[in-house]
């Protein structure tokens, strides 16, 4: 039995990941952004060991979430599932950060940096990472004309770069990233064609399986198969630059051995 923490698990792929993990007999701690959604998760997945709260649009709450999650651990694996889409106008949070960037990029960085390192880390990305741009001089779309879907694609590339950086810098942790497909969820929208069970299966497998194919690191997968990531993902200079930028923005340095 593994102990697994899943972010953004009150609905969609995150909730399905919790359900699959529970069905396999694992201990699962979920995450919700509010007390109301935490109750929804407990009702939808009654076997969950605990639910920790924290709104990822707040740096303070994300930092507190890292501490609360550690207190609910320890964990063998963490699945960074939480994310927001690109359909809204550019929105700035109370921290002065662009919302998509804060939730999809900054939050997994903060949680990774502050939480005790597990044996396995899985980051959800999207097939749109291939269209992403690592625009380090304007990660938050201050100087560029806003394009929500491009901002989303960029954030999903950031997740791949982050995962590969972790894989390189933390040899004791298996770090991977997963494209779940175009899933029939609220985020996926009405035109999506992939079932939610398929969208959760690969990350559950990576987080828990002892099969050799699941014990990889620094790889990008879809449907249990290794895929070719955006070229920037394996650029170590790009990895270091993104980590340095996130450290400066958050005041949280990335831990290195």
Task: Cite the active site residues.
Answer: 152, 156
Return the sign of the alpha-carbon dihedral for residues 203, 205, 210, 216.
negative
**What span, in angstroms and rounded, lies between the C-alpha atoms of 24 and 52?**
22
**What span, in angstroms and rounded, lies between the C-alpha atoms of 247 and 250?**
5
**What span, in angstroms and rounded, lies between the C-alpha atoms of 221 and 202?**
8
Q: What are phi and psi of 29, to 5 degrees?
A: -115, 130
Radius of gyration for the alpha carbons in the chain, expressed in angstroms and rounded = 17
The CA-to-CA distance between both ends of the chain, in Å, stands at: 28
Q: Are the C-beta atoms of 122 and 20 separated by less than 8 Å?
A: no
């Amino acid at each position: 039995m593994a102990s697994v923490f899943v972010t953004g698990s009150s609905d969609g792929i995150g909730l399905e990941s919790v359900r699959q993990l529970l069905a396999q007999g694992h201990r699962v701690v979920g995450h919700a952004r509010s007390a109301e959604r935490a109750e929804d998760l407990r009702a939808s997945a009654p076997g969950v060991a605990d639910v920790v709260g924290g709104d990822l649009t707040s740096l303070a709450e994300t930092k507190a979430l890292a501490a609360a999650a550690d207190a609910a651990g320890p964990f063998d694996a963490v699945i960074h599932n939480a994310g927001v889409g690109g359909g809204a106008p550019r929105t700035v949070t109370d921290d002065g950060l662009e919302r998509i960037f804060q939730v999809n990029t900054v939050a997994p960085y903060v949680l990774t940096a502050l939480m005790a390192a597990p044996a396995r880390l899985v980051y959800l990305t999207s097939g749109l990472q291939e269209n992403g741009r690592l625009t380090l001089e304007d990660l938050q779309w201050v100087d560029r004309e806003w394009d929500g879907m491009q901002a989303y694609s960029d954030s999903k590339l950031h997740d791949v770069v982050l995962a590969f950086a972790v894989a390189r810098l933390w040899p004791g942790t298996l770090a991977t990233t997963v494209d779940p497909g175009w899933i029939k969820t609220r985020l996926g929208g009405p035109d999506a064609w992939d079932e939610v069970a398929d969208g959760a299966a690969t990350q559950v497998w990576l987080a828990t399986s002892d099969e050799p194919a699941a014990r990889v690191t620094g790889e990008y997968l879809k449907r249990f198969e290794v895929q070719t990531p955006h070229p920037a993902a394996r650029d170590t200079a790009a990895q270091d630059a993104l980590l340095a930028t996130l450290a400066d923005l958050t005041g949280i340095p990335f831990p290195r051995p």
